[in-house]
Amino acid sequence: MAVAKTTVEKIQELMHYPEQIRNIGTVAHIDHGKTTLSDNLIAGAGMMSEELAGEQRVLDYDPQEAARGITINAANISMIHHYNDKEFLINLIDTPGHIDFSGEVTRAMRAIDCAIVLVDAVEGIMPQTETVLRQSLKEGVKPVLFINKVDRLIKELQLPPEKMQERFIAIIGDVNRIIESLAPKQFKQSWQVNVQNGSVCFGSAKHKWALSIPMMKKKNISLKHIIDAYQGADDSWKQLGRTATLHEAVLDMVIQHGPNPKKAQEYRIPIIWKGELESETGKNLLTANPNSDMIFVVTKVIIDPQAGEVFTGRVFAGTLKKGQEVVLNTAKSNERIQQVTIYKGANRLLIDDAPPGNIVGVVGLKNAGSGETVSEKAVTPFESIKHLFDPVVTIAIEPKNPQDLPKLIDVLKGIAKQDPTIAISINEETGENLFSGLGELHIEIWMYRIQHDKHLEVIQSPPIVVYREAIVKKFGPIEGKSPNRHNKLYVTVEPLDKNIVDAIQSGAIPEGKMKKKKDDVVNAFIEAGMDRDEAKSVIYVHKGNILVEATRGLVHLNEIIEMVMDGFKMTMDSGPIVKEPCRGLKIILNDAKLHEDSIHRGPGQMIPCIRQSISNALLLSGVALLEPIQTIRLDMPVEYLSAVTKLIIGRRGQLLETTQEGDHATVKAKVPVAEMFGFTSALRSGTSGRGAWFLQDQDFEKLPSSLQNDVVSKLRKRKGLPADLPRPILD
């Protein structure tokens, strides 16, 4: 126990020296070696046995992770590394590689400043490598590169040194192309990874060795030494972990090239916080001021059997203390901090306080969810943590025993807090509880946890696909009347340009009310192709739809505009045809005829009025359903290419690209999510287990006209809506 206490004391001491802190995470495609690397870094810090590194998977402590051999949860650990006679505090987050759990990656990126991108030397850059790199660059996180599994190039592929170097150069080039296209403007060049400056390491996490140019000079080792060790008659490669020590090479790289939290906040705060940078709060965040009011952002919520809900996150300003009274800026509630802890994998160690730049766990924020901004005084919240993909696979869920319904609703609310990439819709009237996730495995894991961890038996429907309602042409102005017939609103609807929808999806255009016509938001609309005057007239952005206020000189408009926005949001959340969310709509408020007396234009009049006018316009324009489409990459031996092509075409898929290299083939295709159920097992049986597929992108596209009526009638039947389609109310 004394040893652990000393570690905690050392960590607590280092927490006060931001220059000696590095907040890092591992990001990579599934099975490229993140957890094995993390084990080695932890063993190097003396926090687990070196022999067990790579076997123990110390950060995979969920029973489902052990059973499936994959990482599902992002896991934290704080450790100490010695570099140039100085001690550094390394806060490490190990993230999942499976696409269904990439929400964990998105949330972890908010807390860290430097991402170790792992790439398998044999497989190279894979779709999920690109996805996680996109997520980290979007959050202003600087990448460094670790090329893993180099032992396979030597032992399995038996490549000579020059061929190995060619492969390294190709991988580095691919990574740099992604960095150049997605890094913040000022870092497109300076963040490029480079062998010469030591921002690239290569090695084998499994065999516990790594090299970088600085390490080669320091230890006087070359790539030839490594190759000779593997080609020697004895097992001399087993000694490589002692000479070219993995944790030393990787953590030295992180300290040299990863920014300290103070430095990182100077450029990250403008990316992730849209408040006034010149304000006192803005200055405190930019400088990571330890003496200001405290600001903490929650990036993860877990349920601890002993402590209850534990909220992991990062302190961005001020000092987080036990017993502190705090404000939850999004949930609009006041709480008290009960515990502050640091992480050692599954264990949490109590501390008294945490200055800025540190990643810690907190107990006591019962109303907080991931992305919540917690502060001593009310502040502008941080940007919501936006995931690249929407939840598109849904199941209906109900308790086996009807008496367990209140318990199920509590459990579902808890899950929505823990995992914001799960969308939960609880309909108290119909009793239908819809549970939407990123994929079949994502839902399967949560169903397992509900039944086994929460001891709640549930009945679940087969998977359902989430659709979106949209239009194909402009229509309007169309009138809507308030129930008392004293007020009229006139709106036009038109499809929103795809560039603008994409900019909203990526976070370049923020969602919500346009409180101040900020130049950067207007410019983001203009960059996406909108006219400047119209960009200035946008008053609300919601789920890929916008509301434009284009009236002229209306006297009472200011008094009703909040109600118009509320009605707009409600209609966008539940479209007129099948009550699915709308997407890609531009709603223009053209004119209004309002009663003089405010008592006749309250919420009960104006919200139905705007909803009716938008619904009328949509119905007259002609609503079409959009279905989710996944762009996937498939890898297989060449002899299975025709079988895979048939499989894709048989599922309404579209082949985009086919490449062959030797006896290996790669196919890029677009397939509707509705046709993807059971795809993994169909691919396995069609390729004798030798084919694999990976998600590259996801979007919504118009459902083929031949399927529209059938899908609409099935959705209306499932939701208990009348068989006859609604008609516009124009009397």
Q: Are residues 496 and 566 in the same domain?
A: yes
- pLDDT at position 155 is 85
Q: Stretch 641-655: mean pLDDT, rounded? A: 93
* pLDDT tens-place string over residues 541-552: 998 999 999 988
Question: What pLDDT score was predicted for residue 51?
Answer: 41
Handedness of CA 201, 204, 207, 208 (dihedral sign): positive
- At 88 the pLDDT is 92
pLDDT of amino acid 731: 63
Closest CA to 219 of 243, 248, 195: 243
pTM for the predicted model, two decimal places: 0.73
196 and 313 in a common domain: no
In this model, does residue 43 exceed pLDDT 70?
A: no
User: What are phi and psi for residue 495, nearest 5 degrees?
Assistant: -65, 140
Predicted confidence band at 597 (pLDDT cuts at 50, 70, 90)? confident
Between 128 and 286, name the one with better pLDDT. Answer: 286
Answer whether residue 282 shows pLDDT above 90: yes
Beta-carbon contacts of residue 621 (< 8 Å; ≥ 6 apart):
471, 472, 473, 474, 475, 476, 493
The predicted pLDDT at position 518 comes to 66
Are 563 and 434 within one domain?
Answer: no
Determine, yes or no, domain membership for 719: no
pLDDT of residue 546: 95
Domain membership flag for residue 722: no
Residue 10: pLDDT band with limits 50, 70, 90: confident
Same domain, 570 and 649: no
149 shares a domain with 85: yes
Residue 718 falls within a domain, yes or no? no
Pick from 212, 241, 263: which residue ends a domain? 263
pLDDT at 171: 94
pLDDT digits (tens, 9 = 90+) for 482-531: 999 889 999 999 999 999 998 888 777 888 888 655 677 888 899 889 99
CATH number of 426's domain: 3.30.70.870
Choosing from 434, 457, 480, the residue where a domain stops is 457
User: Per the structure block, which two tokens stand in for 274?
Assistant: 């849209």
Please report the beta strands in 536-594, taking only residues with DSSP state E, as ranges in sequence order: 538-542, 545-549, 585-593
Are residues 242 and 332 located together in one domain of the fold? no
Assess whether 121 and 149 both reside in one domain.
yes
Does 176 map to a domain? yes
One domain for residues 101 and 219: yes
User: Which of 93-102, 383-392, 400-409, 439-448 has the largest mean confidence?
Assistant: 400-409
Percent of residues, the chain, with pLDDT higher than 90 = 38
Of 263, 296, 326, which marks where a domain is finished? 263
Exposed, middle or buried by CB within 10 Å (0-12, 13-18, 19+), for 695? buried
| Sheet with strand 538-542: strands edge to edge | 475-481, 488-495, 585-593, 545-549, 538-542, 512-513
What pLDDT sits at residue 429? Answer: 53
Whether residue 636 is found in the same domain as residue 490: no
- Cis amide leading into 726 (omega within 30): no
Same domain, 687 and 552: no
Q: Model confidence at 66, in pLDDT bands (50, 70, 90)?
A: very low
| 355's tokens | 């200055």
Mean pLDDT of the chain: 84
Instruction: Answer whether residue 714 is part of any domain.
Output: no
More confident residue, 217 or 386: 217
Instruction: Report how many domains make up the chain.
Output: 5
Owning domain of residue 657: 626-707
pLDDT at position 489 is 93
Q: The domain spanning residue 93 has which CATH number?
A: 3.40.50.300
Q: How far apart are CA 621 and CA 342, in angstroms?
A: 56
Whether 225 is in a domain gets the answer yes
Same domain for 63 and 24: yes
Same domain (yes/no): 523, 430? no
d(CA 290, CA 515): 30
CATH number, domain of 331, equals 2.40.30.10
* pLDDT band (50, 70, 90) for residue 635: confident
- Give the domain CATH number at 646: 3.30.70.240
Q: Are strands 468-471 and 114-120 parallel, antiparallel or unpaired?
A: unpaired
- Mean pLDDT score, 309-330: 91
Which token pair is 651? 């599922």
